[in-house]
Amino acid sequence: MSEVLTPSEVSMPGETLKPSDEESATQVTGREALGDVVRMVEAIIFASAEPVTEKMLLERLPLNVDLLPVLKLLQAEYRLRGVNLIKAGDGWAFRTASDLSFLMSRDQVKQKKLSRAALEVLAIIAYHQPVTRAEMEDIRGVETSKGTLDVLMETGWVKLRGRRRTPGRPVTYGTTDSFLDHFGLPEIRDLPGMDELRGAGLLSARLPSNFSVPIPSVRPDELLPDEDPLTAGDIEELGLFMPKVENDDER
């Protein structure tokens, strides 16, 4: 049976909208505008090979856009899809859903496993940053070779932060957004704590009673008041501008 509309329910051409109708039309227009912004954000992040920061998004979007609700809406839309929108440090990126990662295993580059020393140093840097080489050695109780730090920097997970304002002006180290992206961490403060590490069986039952896991509270890209940024001269002095020379044994 077809639905019959009463005259009061039919809007004639040129008829002035009632206040309720105007409100409804405004809501529709708002939803359409929001949909356009969501599509813009989706396109920008999808086309980028690297995580896109919120600052970069705002530079490309119309003025006065409230970006966070848009990102949350887009994140919710992709929550149950094959790819998810994730936050990595200051950036946003599309990544394969964790339960489908096995499908991409053939396309992944097989990487050499980090040595135990490199893993220990990486953990110390992640939890204690900004940290100097001397402080790493004090925590580990053994000397830290330059080669170990070089390997971590080549992976893109560790970077030079600055120079500590103490005698000798030692260089400090910290993690990068690539580190957060690789381990699926929105922020450095999301590193697993004591209870999570114990629940995963990563802590020995024979640990001292006063043992604790530090909670990082410093963003990897923020210098502390007791740190100075590195200059080009500092980096050149550290030998990072020196080209790698291959000998016959390395070829």
Count of CA atoms in the C-beta half-sphere (13 A) of 235: 11
116-237 CATH: 1.10.10.10
Query: CA neighbours within 13 Å on the CB side: how many for 177?
Result: 14
Q: What is the pLDDT of residues 122-165, one digit of tens each?
A: 999 999 989 999 999 998 889 988 889 999 999 999 999 889 98
In this structure, are residues 134 and 126 in contact, taking their beta carbons and an 8 Å threshold?
A: no
The tokens describing 186, both together, are 């929105």
- What are the C-alpha distances in Å from 123 to residues 66, 109, 119, 129, 157? 36, 23, 6, 10, 11
Kindly report, residue by residue over 175-186, the tens digit of the pLDDT.
Answer: 998 999 888 888
How many helices (H) and strands (E) are present in the chain, helices listed first?
A: 9, 7
The residue ranges of every structural domain in the chain are 22-97, 116-237
Q: Which residue matches tokens 């604790």?
A: 212
Query: What is the third-level CATH fold of 22-97?
Result: Arc Repressor Mutant, subunit A (1.10.10)
Instruction: Tell me if residue 221 falls in helix, strand or coil.
Output: coil
Residue 88: strand, helix, or coil: strand
Task: Report how far apart, in Å, the C-alpha atoms of 71 and of each of 67, 77, 86, 98, 245 are.
Answer: 6, 10, 10, 20, 46
* Residue bearing the bigger pLDDT, 59 or 246: 59
pLDDT in tens, 37-94: 899 999 999 998 889 999 999 999 888 888 999 999 999 999 889 999 998 888 999 9
Specify the pLDDT at position 111. Answer: 65
Fold agreement between 22-97 and 116-237 = yes
Contacts from 80-87 at CB under 8 Å and sequence distance 24+? 85/45, 86/184, 86/186, 87/186
Two tokens at 47? 């086309």
Q: What per-residue confidence (pLDDT) applies to 246? A: 42
